[in-house]
Amino acid sequence: MKTYAELLRHPGVARLLFAQLVARFPGGMLSLGLLIHVEGIFHSYGIAGLVLASLSVGQAVSGPLTSRWMGAWAMRPVLILTGAVCAAALAVLAFAPLSVPGFMAVALVCGLSYPPIQPAVRTVYPKVVNSRQLTPLFSLDASAQEIIWVAGPVLVTFVATQVSSTAGILLSLLFLVGGGIWFVSSPELGRVRIPQSKRRFGVVLARPSVLLITIVGILLVGSFAAIEAGVVSMFGDGSPESGFVLAIFALASLAGGLAFGHLPVGPWALARRMSVILVGSVLAVFAFEFWTISGALLIAGLCVAPALAVMFAAVSATVRFSDTAEAYGWVGTGQLLGAALGSAVAGFLIDAAGSTGGFVTAAILAAVAVLIATVFRRAIPDLRGRDAGPIPDTEPVPVQPS
């Protein structure tokens, strides 16, 4: 804990960490709030699912693109523009009497304009701390984001059901605007300038580390989505036990990130941490009630934030600074695709075999992730005693003849 206390005392770190956390809070609220709102209007979960799919498609498409724009136009203009459009779209979703295609179109715009806060802050981190502190900072960031997934759904569900579904969406809007203003006003965003990348859009995916992390991210988040579907199926979507079990999963990740996230990163780090997640996922297949599933997910959760920390550090250390934002954008898109993949496959298996099908899906996805992380471990840089910061951009310096 001493390492994290030192980090938070470092100038600018606490402000950046908490500002981006508040700005990203809608990530844990918006889908559920929109689901409740649209279902309440049309009385159809199918229609609500179509609207959420439009939102997810927009986010998946925009992630790498808006992240790359920050190198061309600077971070603040991109964040302000996307935040303003996204806020306007959310207001329309909350108040306008739209048809189904109208809801889908506005949700798509909302997803396309979702501010690239996560790529921005992870691009700034290497410029505000020294190389020794970077991996623990990525771990602290990954641990802190679990607060979004624990508190966000609970908060928006309470407001949407006890006040109104419109109020639930407006609460997401409040976090988006308030947190966005706080984050954009951080002095570090003015001091850090992302050089414009000279490479074609998408070329950064050719880097083995970025491709590996994107693929493992798809599988990792897919396993989380399958676990969530399995838990809800086991206890029912109206049972408080589902929320308690998923909260234990998230809090275990928070605790694991704080306990293990500072450990040095080597080529085997991702495979080892994914192996712990695999063990917990396999144990969940054989769980049969609250305490057994809680114990299994406690084990799985312990290495979630540490695994994410390895992934962030690996991307940071292996790409040029001008490409880091786009690289994190692709990683984020992969995670969105993973959530869709895990939910879809788990849904079919749950229909066929009950809640066990969700946990089987999670175990299979985690196993494939372990296999890929093991076979391609050389793509993970050995950062033990090395700088985890991005590769500096260099340009030829003209020399006048003497």
pTM: predicted TM-score of the whole model, two decimal places: 0.81
Same domain, 165 and 209: no
pLDDT of residue 397: 36
Domain C-terminal end among 196, 231, 257:
196
pLDDT of residue 365: 96
Encode pLDDT of 207-254 as tens digits.
Answer: 999 999 999 999 998 898 888 888 878 886 556 787 788 888 888 988
Same domain, 229 and 365: yes
* Percent of residues, the chain, with pLDDT higher than 70: 94
Q: Of 50-54, 148-152, 287-291, 325-329, where does mean pLDDT reach its minimum? A: 148-152
Whether residue 152 is predicted with pLDDT greater than 50 in this model: the reply is: yes
d(CA 30, CA 40): 15
Same domain, 173 and 217: no
Q: Is residue 394 part of a domain?
A: no
pLDDT band at 291 (very low <50, low <70, confident <90, very high): very high
Quote the domain boundaries for residue 348: 198-385
pLDDT of residue 398: 40
Encode pLDDT of 76-103 as tens digits.
Answer: 999 999 999 999 999 999 999 999 999 9
Q: Is residue 400 part of a domain?
A: no
Same domain, 244 and 185: no
Same domain, 283 and 192: no
Domain C-terminal end among 196, 216, 233:
196
Same domain, 115 and 2: yes
Sign of the torsion formed by the C-alpha atoms of 319, 320, 324 and 327 = negative
* Percent of residues, the chain, with pLDDT higher than 90: 38
What is the DSSP secondary structure assignment for residue 264, as one 8-state letter? P
Number of domains present in the structure of the chain = 2
Same domain, 169 and 232: no
Same domain, 239 and 339: yes
**Domain containing residue 119: CATH number:** 1.20.1250.20
Mean pLDDT of the residues in the chain: 86
Same domain, 182 and 214: no
Same domain, 189 and 258: no
d(CA 310, CA 347): 30
Residues 305, 380: contact at Cβ < 8 Å?
Answer: no
Whether residue 193 is predicted with pLDDT greater than 90 in this model: the reply is: no
d(CA 139, CA 351): 37
pLDDT band at 344 (very low <50, low <70, confident <90, very high): confident
Report helix angle 208-235 to 321-353, nearest 10. Answer: 30
Residue 202 DSSP SS3: coil
Same domain, 150 and 250: no
